[in-house]
Amino acid sequence: MRALRHMAREHHRDKGNRFLLYMKHRKDKTPPELPKVRSDLALAKEATDKFFDPSNEQARKSIYDRLREKFSGVYYRKQGKGHGVNFREYFVYMAVEHDDVAETLEAQSLDIVCKELRENGVKTTR
């Protein structure tokens, strides 16, 4: 998951840098050529090299192909899941906007409630 979050952060950064450069030079008579947003393959290769230590090029390719498929959603759709979900945007949201603190607090609250219920004779699955 760390590799996918890295890919998402970098994708978001590429899009943001492109937009900022466009806004900075939008009134110029000859604006500079805008940088391209890196492809899923380029991001997957970078994440593979950063987070994994493949033993050979075949293993490296296997890892970055799987990351690329997960990032685009192809991996999940092959399994019959996630039709209609934009996985790239989901991973960007998780990497850039998601707040793990809220989920942690919610889980801690749930643990306290379950403990109280068990102490009062109520069965819980947690």
Q: Is 8 a residue whose pLDDT tops 90? A: yes
The per-residue pLDDT for 30 is 84
What pLDDT, in 10s, does the model give residues 16-39? 999 999 999 888 888 788 889 999
CA distance linking residue 1 with residue 55, whole number of Å = 20
HEC readout, 9-57 = HHHHHHHHHHHHHHHHHCCCCCCCCCCCCCCHHHHHHHHHHHHCCCCCH
The per-residue pLDDT for 102 is 78
CA distance linking residue 66 with residue 35, whole number of Å = 26
The per-residue pLDDT for 123 is 87
Q: Express as a percent the part of the chain with pLDDT over 70.
A: 99
Report DSSP state, residue 64: H
What pLDDT, in 10s, does the model give residues 91-121? 999 888 877 787 788 889 999 998 999 999 9
- 21 CB-near residues (< 8 Å, 6+ apart): 32, 34, 35
